[in-house]
Structure formats: structure tokens, C-alpha cells
Structure 1
Amino acid sequence: MRSFTTRRILLYLSFWHLHHAYSATLYDVIRTNAALSLLKNEFSSHADLIERLESTAESLTLLAPNNDAFSTPDGALLQQQWSQRDAWQLHWNGVLTYLIWEEERTSRQMYQGLQQPTAWREETVEVQITRDGIFFQSPSSAPAQLVRPDLTVENGIAQIVNGFALPAFVSQSLWDVILQVSVDDMAPFTRMRELIVMTELEGFLQNATAMTFLTAPDTAFEDPMFSNETLDLKTAAAILQNHMIPQVLPPALFVADSQVTTLFGQRLTITETEEGEIRIGSANVTQYSLLLGGNGIIHEVSTLLVPPNLNGTSLMDKLLEQAENNTSVDNFVRLLDTSWIEAYSNVQQNYTVFIAENSTLPNSTQIPSDWTRHIRRYVAHQTVPGTILTETLLRETMDAANATGSFYEIDIPVEFDTALLQEITFRLDNQTEQVFIEQSLPQKVNMTMFDFISSAENGVVHLVSNPLVPPFWTTSLMDVVATYDDLSTLQALVVKYNLEDLVSTYNRTLLAPTNAAFIRRGIDGLTPESIVDILSYHLLTKVFSSDQLPTGGSRRYNTVFGRIITVSRVSESSLQFNQQATTVITNVLHNHGIMHLIDTVLVPPLPNETDAPTTLPTIAPARIETPTAVPLSTPTMEFSIGNRALSYESALAFALGLFISCGTIF
């Protein structure tokens, strides 16, 4: 009886190990197979593909190039030409996606001439069967031979090959890609393609080793100045070269406030709008990664990027000209950063600008230079984009509004949106014929000189009596805090301990922990002194906005508490502080500085600790879960039973169980 029970237990254990071998996924094959270590390195940067190979929702086939494949001419060329993984990430993603078939297919189900669809844009790979074995032929690579077939796992089959099967774009230049797409696909871009041929600039897109091409739709050419009759070859070539950037820019490298230089030589600033859209120069990116070529990438933009001074005098030229003799204009020009200089220089974008005669900024004498975000948005509030609102046009608009109202009405409002997306209202006093701009502040903004600059190609400037004040310029920090329900704990602490003056000090950055952050840290039992210390540690002594750091950069800032906090920009929209707290909302402006909402309360270091504390003092009892120790993994050997890939341990346990149980039977 005992021997029979032992046999049953051993057989159960054997098949239990076998079951767990069957539950492996395609990514487990890559992860645990030493012969696929280089392929594993490439997949490590593509979480979307790893997730797909780990999912059991579909059955796939994976062509897995082994380490030898990376030494072939195709593999070596990929590593050499696309060595900068960040820039070529989409291209590598395309290559790896091409290795995936969206159905499970064993080697016995393959036949000569099979055109197997892949997961990459419906492209196929051809199966060739010879005396030497099974090969996979693709448009852009030498045949890859099957060297280890049919590693079957829970979500599919891995076929290990000694070469690469590559999608078509790998061997095509950007110009080849443009020529080979269907007419329907490129229908909105026929004008751009015609200009490339007309100016004989195909070579730039054909021979460059790394290129980003920004293509504009045909609607961008509707202006008569871009018609075939008026556009000369020199101008057309300059426009096209201004859409070519001699580096590869996937969407992940669109970093706000960074700059790129076109082949024409113009420096374009990459910005992010309030709606989260990316702009390059004056054009919105409307379709990312429209086409890929072996030497670059194509994005669609909303409008033409016309080089400055190409067709007439820009508004920026006129501003610089007037700044030499007019103090008000000179003060305004000094506020402009690169993005506004490029915007006013682009003759394809129209603007109406208001410049205050008496003062540049509200309380401008004390505005620090690092208030870059405040100043940029102040300029936006003085600018009405998309229209050249001359005095004649403005009065005609008001006359039309008056015709629909009462004859005795005193004020006729006409509303426009500024570039800050704030509404401003023009009003006309019918008794005095005076036009003024309505704003919430007591002082009235009178139009003192219409059409001060009116000869620019793309804009007009009016002089006004006072600056147009954006809402954030008159909003206090505590008013801003009160608008966020998630900051009620912070607000209560500030009020309870009379810390309004501390947190509202001029020229400060407040790191504002959310309610959840205070709950996690615990504040019960803290002394008033501790509260002051903690809040002082959340106040930087300078104004700091996220766009002052590039992605991956870091900087150290003094705090009112007297210790230093390290700020890191971990992504386009996320900051970290001391590698502990991450922003929930960034760049909330107010009249004394800026605020960032964070998800963790930062605890000041003890006197004997460095500025990056190694231990956090206990402020309130908290339950800490002790993590379960996880043993280090060791390399495993592989065996196979039938079509299944088994680890060394699984195979040994299975064989030992069978041996003992069978020996017991006999």
C-alpha cells in the first residue's frame, strides 16, 4: 500500500512540473534562453511587445533570431546604423513586430512559397524549403534559416532562426517610401511631393543617414503665394529644406522647449500647447510617424514652416526695428523667448499684439528673470493669434455688433481669445468713439495708438495705456490652493498654524503634498515646530517650472528650511524630488511664484544627515509590510520533450519521478 501511494505522489509531482513547463510564454523563451540574450536586450525597450508575448489572449508564432543572427551582415547593419536606440526606437519596434505572426504555425505546417502575414502593417514573409532546411525570406534581408523549430509554449510557438527577417522599410529611403505608398494614402500630400520633384531635392531624402521630414497637407498651400504660378524654385527649395531635420525625431524625443535645426538653418523650438499638442516652430504635429524609412521618419504638420524673411517683412523684424527708438517696444521685445521670436517671425501666422506704453509688466520692476513661464504666458495674453485686427477691421466689427443692438446702447462688446486662451472684450463708447479693452482690474485699458506697426506681413501692433493682465497675475497662492479639493489638508495646516505669510513669500516654488500624501505619511502628534519645518522644506527659494529642465536632467535647489532638494525631470510631464515625491500636477502659476502638486510628503533630513536623507524619521505610527525575500535566479539549462521547452530542473524532476515510479512497479 505504501509503495502504491509513493508511486502516485511521484507521478503527480512529475506531471506538476510538466504542467508548469507548459505554462511558459513566448517571452519566457526569450528571457531564459542564453542563445537569445541579444534579442532579449532589444525587446527590453519595448514594453508593448513584451506584454503581447506574455499575454495568453492569442496564439502567436515568434521568429526568434539567435545571437549568431546579430553577427550576420543584416544584424550588424542594424546595430551600426540604428545604434542610438532612443532615436530609432520606432524602427526597432517595427523590426521586432515583423518577427511576430498572428497565428500559431509549426514547422510541419509550413510549405514552399507560403506568404505568411506578420504583425507589421500586413507585410508578409516568404517560406522557402530546400534540402538544407527551412528558410524565411523577406524583402529587406538575406534568408534566415530555421535552426531550432517548434518550441511550443502556452501562447504559441517560437521558431529560432540564425538570421533576420526584416520589413520592407529597412532597405528603403524616405523618398523610396514616399514613392511606393499608394496614391490614396498620399493624396493629401501631393503638393509636397510635386515640390520635391520640381526642386530636385529627392537626394536629401534618399542619401541622408538620419532624417526627419515634416510633410504638410495640400491645404497648407492654399495661399496664392504658394501657387505654381508664383512659387519660384529658390523659394520652394528653401521651404522644403526648412521641413527637413538632419536627425531622427520619434515622438518620444519631442521635448518641450528644446530646439532642432533644419537643413535651411532655422532653429525651431518644440513646445507643448495647453491642450497637450506638440508644436514644432509654428506648426502643430497632427500625425506622428506617418511613414518610416531605413534612414528616417516622416511626421505630418498642420502648416508650412516658411523660413523667416522669405516673403516680406515679418512682425518680429518690425518690432526689432521700432525697439531702437521706442522704449515701450524695446521693453516688450526683451520679454520674448525663442518660441515667441519664431512665432512673430513666421509670415504664415498672423498676430495682433498690444504693447503697454507706461509699463512692460504689472509691477515689472521686481520680476525675476527665472519667471520664464509667467513671462511667456504674459506675452501670450498680449497676443491675439490668427488675425490681423487693424483699427478699420475692429471698428467695422463693432459697427456690425451695434446694428444688432439698441441705438442707445453705450458699450458694444466684441470678444476675442488671446493666445493664453483667455477671452478679452473690446468695447466702444458710442459717445466718445473711444475703444477700450475690458478687464477685471480697476484700470481701464485704452487704445492709445491704433496700428502703431501695420506694415508687417503677418501682424499689427497697437499701443495701449496699460498691460493686459492675465488672471494668474492677480491670484494669490492661497486662492489657488483653495481651488484644489485635493489640497484641503495643506490649506488647513497653513491656516491652523498661521503660515500664510511663510508659504506666500514672493518668488517661491511650493511643493504641495496632496491629501493622500499627508495620510500616508501621518501628521497626528506633530508639534507646530515640526509642521513649520516640513512646510519650509517644501518651499524652494526660487521659482522653478518644469520646462527649465530637459528630460533626464536634474538640479539642486535651496529650501526655506535651509537644506537642499534635488529636482529631476523623469519625463516630459513629470518631476521627482529627492527621488521620493513625484508631481501630480505641474506649473500652477500665481502672483508670487509657482506651485507643483506632489504625491509624497518630503521629510527634512536630520542635522547629521546629507541633503538626500538615508532614513526618514518616524512621525506617526505606521504599519510597514516586510517584503518577502525572493531568491536570486540562476541560469537554467533547457531540454525538450516533444515540442515543449523544459528547464533543467523540470526535466530532471519529471525523469526522476518516472524512473522511481516505474522501478517501483516492476
Structure 2
Amino acid sequence: MIAFLTLAVIVQSAFAGNLVEVLQNDGETTLIALVQQAGLADALLGGEFTIFAPTNAAFAKLPQATLDSLSKDTTALANILKYHVVKGSIHKADASNELQLETLAGTKIRFNIYSHNHVVTVEGSKITHFDLTASNGMVHVIDTVMMPPEGSIVDLVAGNSDLSTLLSKVQSAGLAGALQGDGLTVFAPTNAAFARLGSHVLDNLRRNPTLLKEILEYHVVPHTEYSAGLYNREYVRTLDTHHDVIRLGVSSSGSVTVNRNAHVTKADISATNGVVHIIDHVLIPARYLFSAILGRR
């Protein structure tokens, strides 16, 4: 039996087309057209590679303005396409949670494995079809185009004007260094979210850096949680001193709430060291909800 299986694998490999042909056979016509436009087809035939291949529907999800911009800038297009390619043949069995692989673009992509729904993601994009074998590599089909991250979590917060209050609080609490750790998830409140706390609460937090640090750490999960891995009524422990939990709600439409009142308004912003989800309310650990130090009764 073992000899038969080995022979079957050899025969399958012998008749497998190259990477471009495998993509064609699987119907990834948009990806092939863009690869040809970027002048990368020959490069994909010159070595052994693994391609994380977005479907036509994945490309259709991109804003038209993004597609138009990429069509005019082949260098940027090539960089994004290279971000979907790694050297060597990577099988599904090779993946492990939080594994990072360096791409041809020079930046890394991160695997996450979610046991509860048997989902595997790469940079948050769900892998829908594994192990399409080519004569010179492997193809895994994904449902979303991956965009190279623009920096670390701190870089993303610093670069978003709507998160300037969060940035100042992180700096005041001395947490910027902690947010440079790897494999983190941050639920990032907007400026408006902090404003909802009211001036009295904000003044109390300003006077109590220990409490401020606790509340900010309550927004950080010490592992990577992309949307594809979240489920309704999930409890996730955070980075604060007591490792308090946040409760996630996921509706049938896919919208996500945190502790019931905070809504994720923008999800899955990849960073080099994790992921950021923007939320519209500040999260407060239950132990502090009615604390006099927050000025609440």
C-alpha cells in the first residue's frame, strides 16, 4: 500500500502543470492577468515557489480606485503580487499557528490556525483550497487579496489621525514598547470613543497612570485574532494585570461587537507584529465599571 501511494504521488507530480498552468486550471484568471501585466510570469517558472492565490472574487472585493492605481503602477502591483509568493513548497501540514514566512516582497506573512471552526488564515485571509500541486511548487487559494502591512501596530496607530488620542494615552502609560511584541491583537478605540468617556473620567485616567495602563492593556490580546477566527460568545483573555476577558459577539452578517457595546468599525488591519481592529467605544474591565476612580456611581 505504501509503495502504491508513493507511486501515485510521483505520477501526480509528473502530470502536474507548472504554477501558471495550475492557476489557469483553477480559474484564477484575474491573478494570471495581473502576473503577466507585472512581468512576473517567467520569474514564477524559474524556481520552486508557493503561491497564495486570491480568487477572482477576492480581487473584485478591492476598491476600483485601488485596482486602477495598481494598473498604472506596475512596480506597486509587482510588490503586492510578490507578497503572495514564498520560496519552496509549503504544504498545509507545514503550517502552524503564528508561523511567519518571508515573501518575495521581503516582508513576512503570518499563518493562524483556529481549531474551533477549522479555519486557516494567512494575514487574515481564509485559505479555501489547499495543496494544489504544481511541477515547480504549490498553490493555496485564498479569499482576500493580502496587502503588505505599513508597519508595526504602533506605526499603524501613529499613522491614523483618528487614533491620535489612543496614541497619546499609550505614550503616557509607557506602553509603546509592549506593543512592539509579536503576535498581538489590538482593539483600538477612536478619538470619538475616548470622548464618549467624558472629561471627568478622562481627567481621572490622566491622574492615575496605573489605571490608564490597565485599561489600555485590556484592549490587547497576546495572540493574533483575525475576523475569520472569531466566533459568537467567544471569551478572550487580555494583556492587563488580571488577564481579564473580553466577550466577542459575531452576528450572522459578520459584524463584530466587543463587550456588547463596542462595535468593530474596521477589522483586520495587518501589522508586522499582529493585527488591529478599530472600535467605537473604550473597553473597561468589569472590576472598574463602577469604580469611584472612574467617577461613576
**TM-score normalised to the size of structure 1?**
0.29
Q: Is 1:261 matched up with 2:102? A: yes
Secondary structure of the structure 2 residue equivalent to 1:207: coil
Q: CA deviation at 1:293?
A: 1.3
1:193 aligns with 2:32: yes
Contact 1:217-1:300 within 8 A present in 2 as well: yes
* Residues 1:325 and 1:259: Cα distance change in structure 2 (over 3 Å): same
Within the candidate set 163, 170, 175, 2:20 is matched to 175
Alignment of 1:334 with 2:172, yes or no, is no
Letter in 1 for 2:9: V
Shift of 1:247: 2.1
2-side partners of 1:303 and 1:261: how far apart? 19
Which residue is equivalent to 2:88? 247
Give the equivalent residue in structure 2 for 1:298: 139
Structure 1 residue identity aligned to 2:45: Q
Q: Give the deviation of 1:194 after TM superposition.
A: 0.6
> Does the CA-based 8 Å contact 2:70-2:76 persist in structure 1?
no
Q: Number of paired residues?
A: 229
Contact 2:153 2:180 in 1 (8 A): no
Answer yes or no: is the 8 Å Cα contact 1:287–1:301 preserved in 2: yes
Is 1:213 matched with 2:51? yes
Equivalent positions of 1:563-642 (< 5 A) are none
Counterpart secondary structure, 1:286: strand
Separation in structure 2 between the aligned mates of residue 353 and residue 201 of structure 1, nearest angstrom = 40
**Quick check: 1:95 aligned with 2:13?**
no
Note the C-alpha offset of 1:267: 1.4
Shift of 1:233: 1.0
Aligned partner letter, 1:167? A
* 2:265 aligned with 1:424: no
Task: Tell me: CA distance 1:287–1:329, structure 2 relative to 1, closer, same or farther (3 Å).
Answer: farther
Is 1:277 aligned to 2:94, yes or no?
Answer: no
Does 1 or 2 have the higher relative contact order (CA < 8 Å, sep 6+)? 2
Give the unaligned 5+ runs of structure 2: 195-204, 206-210, 224-235, 263-275, 288-297
| Contact kept? 1:384, 1:417, Cα under 8 Å | yes
Which of the pair has more CA radius of gyration? 1
Q: CA deviation at 1:374?
A: 3.8
| Cα separation, 2, equivalents of 1:176 and 1:416 | 38
CA drift at 1:292:
1.4
Distance 1:305 1:221, change over 3 A: same
Distance, in Å, in 2 between the alignment partners of 1:168 and 1:94 is 11
Deviations 1:107-162 (A, max 9, x none): xxxxxxxxxxxxx5xxxxxxxxxxxxxxxxxxxxxxxxxxxxxxxxxxxxxxxxxx
Residue of structure 2 aligned with 1:224, choices 36, 47, 64: 64
SS at match of 1:338: coil
Task: Give deviations 1:258-283, integer Å, cap 9, x for gaps.
Answer: 21111101112211124221111121
Counterpart Cα distance in 2 of 1:215 and 1:325: 39
SS in 1 for 2:212: coil
Pairs within 5 Å for 1:259-658: 259-273=100-114, 274-289=116-131, 291-309=132-150, 316-320=154-158, 325-326=168-169, 327=171, 331=175, 334-335=178-179, 337-340=181-184, 353=189, 358-361=211-214, 374-375=237-238, 381=246, 417-418=256-257, 424-426=259-261, 460=278, 464=282, 467-468=284-285
Q: Percent identity?
A: 16
Q: Per-residue CA shift, 1:184-205, capped at 9, x if unaligned?
A: x40xx21111100100101221
Matched residue type, 2:15: A
Secondary structure of residue in 2 paired with 1:177: helix
Structure 1: 5+ residue stretches without partners: 1-26, 28-39, 50-91, 99-119, 121-165, 345-350, 365-370, 387-414, 427-436, 438-457, 471-666
Moved over 6 A (4+): 376-380, 382-386
The structure-2 alpha-carbon separation of the partners of 1:318 and 1:226, relative to structure 1 and needing over 3 Å to count, comes to: closer
